[in-house]
Structure 1
Amino acid sequence: MTLLRTPLYDLSAAAKARFVEFSGWEMAVQYSGLKAEHNAVRDSVGMFDISHMGKFALAGENLVAALQTLVPSNLARLSAGQAQYTVLLNEKAGIIDDIIYYHQGDRQGFLIVNAATTQKDWDWLTAHLQPKGISLTDVSREKVLIAVQGQKAEVTLQPFVENLDLASLKMFNHSEATIEGESAFIARTGYTGEDGFEVMVSPAVGQKLWQKLSDAGVVPCGLGCRDTLRLETALHLYGQDIDDDTTPLEAGLGWLIHWDEKDYFIGKEILTAQKKQGITKRLVGLEMQARGIARHDYPVLVEGKAVGLVTSGTMSPTLNQAIALAYLPREFAKKGQAVEIEIRGKLYPAKVVKKPFYRSPSRK
């Protein structure tokens, strides 16, 4: 299979990045090293090539009303320039994907979706929105997306942005600006738990911006530290921590459900029943109590009995502590619960802890 490459691939190759296959793309997993890149974002600023992510432009009368039926969040709350993190749900209230919707007015909006689910999301959205007169345009291959993340993201990015004071852009807000003489889409969003921005531009401008940011000392970061950063702050990875068979209530995303503000959305009946009866499993945070790193699909045991599986796990560079996420039955999903993780045939102690594992001072 021929892997896809982003327009920034050559610049990453020149920076001696190490590449891996990810969702059909050849992506940089690390440049200078995972820990150095991780610490750059936590302590200063780093940048990620996330051009592989799906990017859909939406337009049409009653756009919000049409999209409302597909997500549990009330998009009518949004004013132009605001964004909402939410989930697409199937009829069983399973999560088709977690997405960000950027509201651009009564007739326009934009969706950023996961690379691994781009086609699935496109098919689902097209089937449900086109009959309601909503047009969808896939610009995934036409735009570069760069995430500039870290406590110094604002001061670092500002010199390259015209017609927009980044300090005026609140968290989960977005705006048009000018970069290299062309229109640019800038959102104060990200996937690291730090302050930062996601910048969408043409490939030509993206290449210039990436090089200028690099020249200014911004550390290029790969998928490796993107995973450790998001896991420290307990952000979900689609396909591991959430999927078509897990609901928002089970995944700890109940805050996305605006129960009393929406008469209907796909999956609401199932979620209402879950809320009334109680969920049978819940995604929890785990902290290892001995040496050993819990990884995806490692068994979780209580008193010698397998009760769940690890969904994500790593050694936290910030905390110098092995951490993980796992789904456990409700009776074991309580803070302080002692469990064991089976790692290569041996059992290692761990305990359930409160999420997130780490909270950035810049986000408190």
Structure 2
Amino acid sequence: MTPEELRSLTPGVLGILVRRGADFAAAEDAVQDALVEALRVWPDDPPRDPKGWLVTVAWRRFLDAARSEAARRRREESAEEEPPPGPATSVDDTLQLYFLCAHPSLTPASAVALTLRAVGGLTTRQIAEAYLVPEATMAQRISRAKRTVSRVRFDQPGDVATVLRVLYLVFNEGYTGDVDLAAEAIRLTRQLAATIDHPEVYGLLALMLLHHARRAARTGDDGGLVPLAEQDRTRWDTALIAEGVLILQAALARDRLGEFQAQAAIAALHADAPHAGETDWVQIVEWYDELARLTDSPVVRLNRAVAVGEADGARAGLAALSDLDQTLPRYAAVAAYLHERDGDGKRAARLYAEAAAQAPNLAERDHLTRQAARLHRQL
């Protein structure tokens, strides 16, 4: 069994412990201990029933911890008789765990960390490395999150939209350390899609697959950022694209449009074009109109301005841009691109340099700096 397959058992095991009466925070610690033990023991002695083995070991770890703390003596007395090995219920608690870990009382950062640990089965060290923070800092964040949700009823209804936002935050972190967070987000979203029949879950899964399909083409041999229009499309993963489009079509057929379905539709139109020049920008603008209606997001309207510039010309794109706040992230980069398309190289060079100074990461900063330098050479 691979580490990913092992981690996929985490929600079911954790749910069983909580239903047996274990405090969520203590149960999660016990499950993590059981996962570590499984990685040590299973290569030489694999169990016939992996989930049952994890439940048994995790429950014993929980009882051991309960017995060592005076504050949990009453819980120990109620659990004095150890249940037989293996799952005690056929109830699937996966969805409740997603809701719990994305509870509105948590900050987005805490919800992401708790989801990766309690639902994803990652260790605190792995999560800390992925987010480039000290392990002690991440441990404190997770502990606070667990204390917060321990006060929430396990069977309390949750908000699917909040869960999806948390998973999308995970996906957008990409790859850092020894954990591929984009792949982990896809795995968790697949797991969620198998648990709940919801078109926006499918929309997010389709969006992730379509974006992930372009991953190999996003950077050049020198590690530099390659814009979508300049990517080598032969490096795109056609199997992921086909799967994403199929999932999206099934979601759209439900006629319950949401923002992730609209974003996925835009990504699918980009994926459908054999070359950048064949992109159906008119239809992309229409989807941005739908997305703006759904979200009223300034970032969506910023991206729409780019699409309008491609569909109707740079002047039309600049007109769409004029209504937006110039302090928006990446506003300067979009303005630079449209001004260059409109023939104003001098202004575009200045805006590219301005955008580079505001870039959120090194790869984007280097790309924008190169764009500014290219235009300066042409002046």
Give me the TM-score of the superposition, normalised by structure 2: 0.27
More strand by share: 1
Give me the TM-score of the superposition, normalised by structure 1: 0.27
Kindly name which structure, 1 or 2, has the bigger radius of gyration based on alpha carbons.
2
Highest RCO, 1 vs 2 (Cα 8 Å, sep ≥ 6): 1
